[in-house]
Amino acid sequence: MRQTALILALLASTGLAHAAPADPSKSSLKFAFTQMNVPVEGQFKKFAADVAFDANKLDASKVQIAVDLVAADAGSSDANQAMQMKEWFNTAAYPKATFTATQFKSLGAGKFQAMGQFGLKGKTAPLNVAFTVKPEATGQWFEGNFPLSRLAWKVGEGEWSDVGAVADAVQVKFKLFVPK
């Protein structure tokens, strides 16, 4: 409790307008790829996104996202079970994917870029993510998308590394609502 109070006091001292978790009932984290040239869309049903963002104080802003890979849904129970396997997400060893950003750049007209570290399946590397911010009376919407190479992250190893069966390119789309 004392640690939580200290963290909240530190966030308040930065003057950030928003330092809150995303509302899971309004937020989404989706992915899209092709399998045998057929588009497949899925979603991560469980994730936590803590956002402290102020467009006027980018140097004091930060984002932390943790995705529960066990809750990945690709539209069928067979696909969902396969994603848990060692060849794919290997959720027994790596149950979460993470993104932490502490550097931001304005791209103008409500568009920004987050520069951070992405972690998946035991590997961490830099990742830049473009997003838009749309304020409203009750909070802010953060929306964006970015490509990932599944093979660069060893998602779909062994016989599944054949890009003729499952494309290498995965598009990740997010929409986060952070209340005031």
Per-residue pLDDT averaged across 130-157, rounded?
A: 96
Helix/strand/coil for 53? coil
Per-residue pLDDT averaged across 77-106, rounded?
A: 97
pLDDT at residue 4, as a whole number? 33
Provide the residue range defining the domain that includes 167: 17-179
In a domain, 92, yes or no: yes
Checking if the pLDDT of 90 tops 80, the result is yes
In a domain, 3, yes or no: no
Q: From edge to edge, which strands make up the β-sheet containing 169-179?
A: 19-21, 47-52, 62-68, 96-108, 111-120, 123-136, 139-149, 169-179, 28-35, 38-44, 72-73
Per-residue pLDDT averaged across 91-106, rounded?
A: 98
pLDDT at residue 112, as a whole number? 98
Domains held by the chain: number: 1
Q: How far from each other are the two terminal CA atoms of the chain, in whole angstroms?
A: 22
pLDDT at residue 20, as a whole number? 81
CATH number for the domain including 84? 2.40.128.110
Check residue 46 and report its DSSP letter.
Answer: -
Per-residue pLDDT averaged across 1-28, rounded?
A: 55
Residue with tokens 């530190």: 10
pLDDT at residue 6, as a whole number? 32
In a domain, 10, yes or no: no
In a domain, 111, yes or no: yes
Angle at 38 between CA 73 and CA 170, to 5 degrees: 55
